[in-house]
Structure 1
Amino acid sequence: MTDDFKDTSTPTPESVDTSTGTMADVEEIMKKYDRESNTRIWTGTPGKIIKYVMAAFALLMIWLNLFANWDERIRRCLFLGTIIIFAFLMYPLRKKDAGKVNHMPFYDVILMLLGAGSFFYYIMNFKAVIDQATRIGQLEVVLGIIGIVILAEACRRVVGLPILFVAGFFVIYSFAQGKALRVIIYNLFYTTTGVIGTPIGVCSTYIVLFIIFGAFLEGTGISDFFIQVANSIAGASKGGPAKVAVISSALCGMVSGSSVANTVTTGSVTIPLMKKTGYRSEFAGAVEASASTGGQIMPPIMGAAAFLMAEMVGVPYADIAVKAILPAFLYFLGIFIAVHLEALRTGLRGLKKEDLPHFGKLVLRQGYLLLPLIILVWMVMAGFTMARSAVIATLVAIVVSMFRKETRMTPSGFITVLENGTKNTISVAIACGVAGIIAGVVTMTGLGQVLISAIVGMSNGNLLIALMLTMLTCIVLGMGVPTTANYIIMATTCAPILVSGMGVNAIAANMFVFYFGIIADITPPVALAAYAGSAIARSNPMKTAFTATRLAIAAFIVPYIFVMSPALLFIETTPLEIILIVLTSIVGLFGVSAGLAGFIYSKMPIWQRILSVVGGLLLIYPGLVTDIAGVALVGVVIALQFVGRKKESKEFPTFNN
């Protein structure tokens, strides 16, 4: 095609801004939007003391889970009381106080001691409190109130307000039901149905150990290995750097329990590459954010959610990991298709093959880095406890890190990794404690049945409407909440609505709410992963978030597929049904992605885009009639695009010199 007919609106590597943000830019934008990024700075002797105490706490958690035989209530109180100490040590009252060196005002010291003291009092007077049951004395009531209020304040500092609004509504509801203050405090503070209930129980046993495991695994250099593997697979294809981002984020994200951390880790490498090859800033940041967020639905680890879901649903971990395979595949395939269409639309090429690593040689040279993951999955599936599996896998990660000089762990590095493990646990543990309040009120008041009746009534018994209402609830409740705590809230409040009210399979319902809780990280207005990506890409945060939402359209579609067609989760199905549902889903995702991108072989007029999206959605809805109609519509659009391209090439032939 001659220059006269060149699409000047299409960006080229020469015309696109290739500048990228620094880690300082990331920190600045995350401090604006993310509570976890606003921390105090401790240096010198105070810093060393806090560092060693945090490292010792991580070791204590390992010892408790492997060898101790303490009462669950004592262990959970010790865990949460200590976490409250760390929360006030690290997070100031206001954002503007963050960054101050070795500074902690007296009122924070008082709040820290009162909050932790409430839980430690329970430990020291455990038998007496248990014997009193709901007849607890005035002192216990006061300490329970103090503990809950200070936990809420810690949550405001570390996690943010959305989850507190939800918990506050639930507590007000319990008073509206006529429950006495003494009964409410006893249930929410002193029993395993409240603050120290299942969420904190899971956090203090499984989640903390997997966070520590993830910290050590990161120290082996596995993130760089995953990026190199992705480069060797897709780097040379059209729009290669973006496809590298999708693959590497899927691999890195399954271990990371944070969409933001995953975005920053892999995005610091992939986003500059995308921009250099011609991708727009918003698109580059959005690709990384959407892929990094999806990393947490990637089996076998799923950011520790697989283990948590197994506990909540009451099924073996292996069942969850296997059932998550096809939905995760479709999610990343949806992003992959969107990236490929963008590369075709803008004429972007891949990286030079000679500059990329060879897959076989790379695996032979660094494949040993996968040993900790392999050992972890094998041990869990072989019947070992999840705690023991996590600890053994951590030890393997430490050994693996010794193989190369640049990753070899020194005593100082070992302490630092343990400290990071504790730091990464703070936000999850605080959120889990508040999630326990929500779960406690649901148990104490029977509010779950009220919510079920409300959703069923509003949907008039229609499953699709009920799913949409549940989806909106999950996205709102999930804004700014750490993934694991996010899932606990969803599983406590939303999943029972689908299971009891609409007859949805328990695993499908839990997977549904998990998906929509997670994509809150890229859904405006609170899209923390997208904001992190925009900081590196130097793009507009909100535009990046909307682009990420479009790219991750599969995340809004796939959950509906496996709820209405459980064959996708290998539930009560046959191989033929699985093949059919996967094929129709792939064509459906292509139709929706193409319609949103507005391009297959050439620019699509609006009516073709509408036909493509409608056809894709019809393929997603189960049924022979809808499948035939969907294939017909998407097929017609593809045919029209193909014919249009042929016609265009005849009118404007390309001449080779």
Structure 2
Amino acid sequence: MTVPSQTEPDQAIAAGVDNEIFSANQRKPVGKVGLVVAALCILYTAFHIGVMNLYPLETWTYRLIHVGGGLAIGFLLFSSLTFNEVEGQNRRGRDLLILPGLGLIIIALVQVLLPWLGLGTGVDQAATLTAWRWTFGVPLMLGTVWVMLIGWFMPDARRAHLDLADIALALAAIAATLYIIYHAPFLRLRAGTALAKEADMWAALIGVVLILELTRRMAGMALVIIASIFVIYSFVGPWLPGILYHRGYSLTRFFTYIFTDQGILGPTTAISSTYIILFVAFAAFLQASRVGEYFVNFAFAAAGDRRGGPAKVAVFGSGLMGMINGTSAGNVVATGSLTIPLMKRVGYKPQTAAAVEAAASSGGQILPPIMGAGAFIMSEITGIAYSEIVIAAIIPALLYFASVYFNVDLAAQKYDMKGLPREELPKFSRLARQVFLFIPIFILIGALFMGYSVIRAGTLAMGAAAVVSWLTPYKMGVKEVLFALEISTKMTLQLVAVCAAAGIIVGVIALTGLGTRFSSLLLGLAENVQIVALFFAMVVSIILGMGMPTTAAYAVAASVIAPGLISMGIEPLTAHFFIFYFAVMSAITPPVALAAYAGAAIAQSDPMKTSVESFKMGMAAFIVPFMFFSSPELLMQGNALDIIHVVLGALLGVYLLSSAVQGWFFGNLNLVLRGLLVLAAIAMIDSGYLTDAIGVGTAVLVWAIQKRLVKPGAVAKGLD
């Protein structure tokens, strides 16, 4: 069978979508050094896939290798500074300043390696712990802090080289990880208790410092600040009032507890070391086989010539890509580099183009069946079957994307925007012959519904992506498979760091009992009124999610908020979906909207204006969770007629809301009519026939005024 090339002139519009994306602080090592780093990346992902499918490891060991290996590779690849495109120079004498810190870290690493090599004794067999303090703990701490400070204040600006300071931090991460792995059998018993050793504390403390530093480099300061506040809270509790009070903890007890399966090695790392890395690898295989390019070409062929065509392509294409991508901001960078310039070309303002891309990319996180790994994370946390979660997610995702589409279409009507010329777009007939490229996703869904485990289904889908590539010009051979494994690691590192940082927060909540007390406070403030409790939950979810990727935001918010909502009688599925939606939407919520900021950088628009615009584009997502709370039918709970009734009412509601946001409903709307449409949309939240009648009646009234069938003065007189 001959398959047309995706890069023929009429199908090259999405060329480059699947290219590797480099962040502003990511190094590009060349030569033999580059090959060594690539090999480390390949081994990292291959190790995880092998352990998950072939040779299971003990849980602590596996998760420690996941975190420690991610830290080491992360420091090698991601600098403490943002690079310019022009290759910088290293400062003379800088490496000499690093050597003392590197030497101290090597001393600590040697001390850790000796027991592994059978040439020394571990902490548990040592006659005295003093030696471990001065040959492991103190040198590791001093060396790490020293090289970290040099990295901050005297960064190596050579992008094609590895920084000696970052190599030292990678060695520090290896030393701390090897220590904890070797002593894990004993740490399970003594961590977080008075029996914990001083050396345990040093290893855990360095691990926490390194996690926060890599998180700063890869996800910014927001999560670092939040995690640091929680760490400080663990020590200042005795001096705090009310529900914030606790008796306080020693350094040894706190840090050894945090580095257990109650904290960093707990649910967040369990998720990142299984579901997240598996589905990022799946996305990498699709990227290496150019399936992402096909998705975007398919969207262009279907909608590119419609009014506002590129924006509608962004809604569909970015939604599909975001579903498998796992990070809203990362997806904006991948697809927005194509869609945003084209949206600007047909007349969208720069901030509107960026906002559409940000809203669509964020929506991919709530789009079944993958939901950016969200479905699997929710299943892990709640114990609810994956199939039940995916089915429940269908209608809310439909409403969200319908809302973004309505906003795009109404804006195109308002400003008379055209689509792209048909001759510049891929031919749908040719793309239809490549519909087999959707097979990996169909295999994933089918395997899951046939009862296969998530890991087995994901692995089968990954293999299917490689197989179907042989029916295209981009056949995946050994080289392409290795490339997919390499970029998988690079795409995973941010999530490894933020999930570990989120684990710090989860550990503090568990250690101090803050979650239980916060739930009690939530109940008290809401006075057992569920809708009030949900409003507070919305605010907390958005605040916790600011600056965090979806997975970390949801994991933290679920730990803090979900128990309180469930104790008020809200169904677990509804409570967790509610929290998940607002954790996702934090990526487009001002003032910290990572997805919107990423789009603004591409569109060269004002970041704050872009975040406000993206908030307006995705406004339905701030109403839909309240809709499925009041109408469980939106989560596929109920009989078919009730579900159809509620869906139709909800679709009308989001259309009216979109019309009010855009100021267009069969013509320009004044402020009064926009306000009426907002009230009509709110009336549609409740699925009752009376509220539906109010909403429909108000919409008909506005339509009649717009068509000049009724005069506003007559309406006002009638109200008297």
Q: 1:466 to 1:395 in 2, by over 3 A?
A: same
Q: Are residue 185 (structure 1) and residue 243 (structure 2) matched?
A: no
Q: Are residue 539 (structure 1) and residue 605 (structure 2) matched?
A: yes
Q: Are residue 590 (structure 1) and residue 655 (structure 2) matched?
A: yes
Q: Tell me what 2:521 maps to.
A: 454
C-alpha distance in 2 between matches for 1:257 and 1:245: 17
Contact 2:67 2:496 in 1 (8 A): yes
The alignment covers a number of residue pairs equal to 615
* SS of 1:180 mapped into structure 2: coil
Q: Tell me what 1:387 maps to.
A: 455
C-alpha distance in 2 between matches for 1:523 and 1:644: 39
Contact 1:217 1:397 in 2 (8 A): yes
Q: Tell me what 1:38 maps to.
A: 25
* SS of 2:491 mapped into structure 1: helix
Contact 2:287 2:484 in 1 (8 A): no
Offset of 1:70 from its aligned partner? 2.0
Stretch of structure 1 that moved more, 273-282 or 555-564: 273-282
Q: 1:644 to 1:120 in 2, by over 3 A?
A: farther
Offset of 1:555 from its aligned partner? 1.1
Task: Give the counterpart letter for 2:69 in structure 1.
Answer: T
Q: Are residue 396 (structure 1) and residue 464 (structure 2) matched?
A: yes
Stretch of structure 1 that moved more, 519-528 or 306-315: 519-528
The TM-score, its normalising length taken from structure 2, stands at 0.80
Q: 1:539 to 1:68 in 2, by over 3 A?
A: same
C-alpha distance in 2 between matches for 1:311 and 1:76: 16
1:54-203 → structure 2 map (5 Å cutoff): 54-95=41-82, 97=155, 100-132=158-190, 134=193, 135-175=195-235, 176=237, 177-181=246-250, 182-189=252-259, 191-203=260-272
Offset of 1:598 from its aligned partner? 1.0
C-alpha distance in 2 between matches for 1:351 and 1:315: 45
Q: Tell me what 2:616 maps to.
A: 550
Match of 2:699 among 619, 629, 634: 634
C-alpha distance in 2 between matches for 1:127 and 1:247: 50
Offset of 1:524 from its aligned partner? 2.2
Q: 1:521 to 1:607 in 2, by over 3 A?
A: same
C-alpha distance in 1 between matches for 2:342 and 2:27: 33
Match of 1:474 among 541, 544, 551: 541
Task: Give the counterpart letter for 1:494 in structure 2.
Answer: I
Stretch of structure 1 that moved more, 618-627 or 440-449: 618-627
Task: Give the counterpart letter for 1:326 in structure 2.
Answer: I
Deviation digits for residues 325-362 of structure 1, max 9, x if unmatched?
00000001001111111111112233455655554552
Match of 1:307 among 376, 385, 388: 376
Contact 2:77 2:162 in 1 (8 A): no
Structure 2 residues without counterparts, runs of 5 or longer: 1-14, 84-154, 238-245, 713-720
Match of 2:673 among 587, 591, 608: 608
C-alpha distance in 2 between matches for 1:141 and 1:102: 36
Q: Give the aligned CA root-mean-square deviation in angstroms.
A: 2.7
Stretch of structure 1 that moved more, 522-531 or 383-392: 522-531
Match of 2:276 among 196, 203, 207: 207
Match of 1:424 among 482, 487, 491: 491
Q: 1:402 to 1:263 in 2, by over 3 A?
A: same
Offset of 1:485 from its aligned partner? 1.9
* SS of 1:69 mapped into structure 2: coil
Q: Are residue 277 (structure 1) and residue 339 (structure 2) matched?
A: no
* SS of 1:254 mapped into structure 2: helix
Offset of 1:49 from its aligned partner? 0.6
Deviation digits for residues 555-590 of structure 1, max 9, x if unmatched?
11111111222221123x222221222122111112
C-alpha distance in 2 between matches for 1:217 and 1:485: 24
Deviation digits for residues 579-627 of structure 1, max 9, x if unmatched?
2221221111122111111111211111111111111112114444433
Offset of 1:160 from its aligned partner? 2.3
Offset of 1:110 from its aligned partner? 3.6
Offset of 1:143 from its aligned partner? 1.7
Q: Tell me what 1:652 maps to.
A: none
Q: Are residue 368 (structure 1) and residue 368 (structure 2) matched?
A: no
C-alpha distance in 2 between matches for 1:310 and 1:194: 19
Contact 1:220 1:369 in 2 (8 A): no
C-alpha distance in 1 between matches for 2:476 and 2:37: 21
Q: Tell me what 1:562 maps to.
A: 628
C-alpha distance in 2 between matches for 1:480 and 1:66: 33
Match of 1:329 among 389, 395, 398: 398
Question: Which structure has the larger Rg over C-alpha atoms?
Answer: 2
Deviation digits for residues 47-83 of structure 1, max 9, x if unmatched?
1111111111111111111122321011111111111
Q: Are residue 498 (structure 1) and residue 565 (structure 2) matched?
A: yes
Deviation digits for residues 375-400 of structure 1, max 9, x if unmatched?
11111221212112222211111122
C-alpha distance in 2 between matches for 1:98 and 1:455: 48
Q: Tell me what 1:650 maps to.
A: none
Task: Give the counterpart letter for 2:172 in structure 1.
Answer: L
Task: Give the counterpart letter for 1:333 in structure 2.
Answer: A
Q: Tell me what 1:19 maps to.
A: none
Offset of 1:202 from its aligned partner? 1.6
Q: Are residue 512 (structure 1) and residue 578 (structure 2) matched?
A: yes
Q: 1:646 to 1:416 in 2, by over 3 A?
A: farther
Q: Are residue 617 (structure 1) and residue 678 (structure 2) matched?
A: no
Q: 1:536 to 1:166 in 2, by over 3 A?
A: closer
Q: 1:495 to 1:239 in 2, by over 3 A?
A: same
Q: 1:252 to 1:644 in 2, by over 3 A?
A: farther
C-alpha distance in 2 between matches for 1:596 and 1:126: 56
Stretch of structure 1 that moved more, 232-241 or 419-428: 232-241
Contact 2:378 2:576 in 1 (8 A): yes
Higher relative contact order (CA 8 A, sep 6+): 1
Stretch of structure 1 that moved more, 39-48 or 267-276: 267-276
Match of 1:579 among 637, 641, 644: 644
Offset of 1:298 from its aligned partner? 0.6
Task: Give the counterpart letter for 1:154 in structure 2.
Answer: L
Q: 1:230 to 1:644 in 2, by over 3 A?
A: farther
Q: Tell me what 1:522 maps to.
A: 588
Offset of 1:131 from its aligned partner? 4.9
Q: 1:450 to 1:642 in 2, by over 3 A?
A: same
Contact 2:25 2:80 in 1 (8 A): no
Stretch of structure 1 that moved more, 469-478 or 209-218: 469-478
C-alpha distance in 1 between matches for 2:186 and 2:654: 60
The runs of at least 4 consecutive aligned structure 1 residues that moved more than 6 Å come to 644-647
C-alpha distance in 2 between matches for 1:54 and 1:353: 42
Q: Tell me what 2:141 maps to.
A: none
Q: 1:106 to 1:256 in 2, by over 3 A?
A: closer
Stretch of structure 1 that moved more, 576-585 or 273-282: 273-282
Structure 1 residues without counterparts, runs of 5 or longer: 1-21, 648-657
Offset of 1:232 from its aligned partner? 3.4
C-alpha distance in 2 between matches for 1:414 and 1:620: 48
Q: 1:101 to 1:606 in 2, by over 3 A?
A: closer
The TM-score, its normalising length taken from structure 1, stands at 0.88
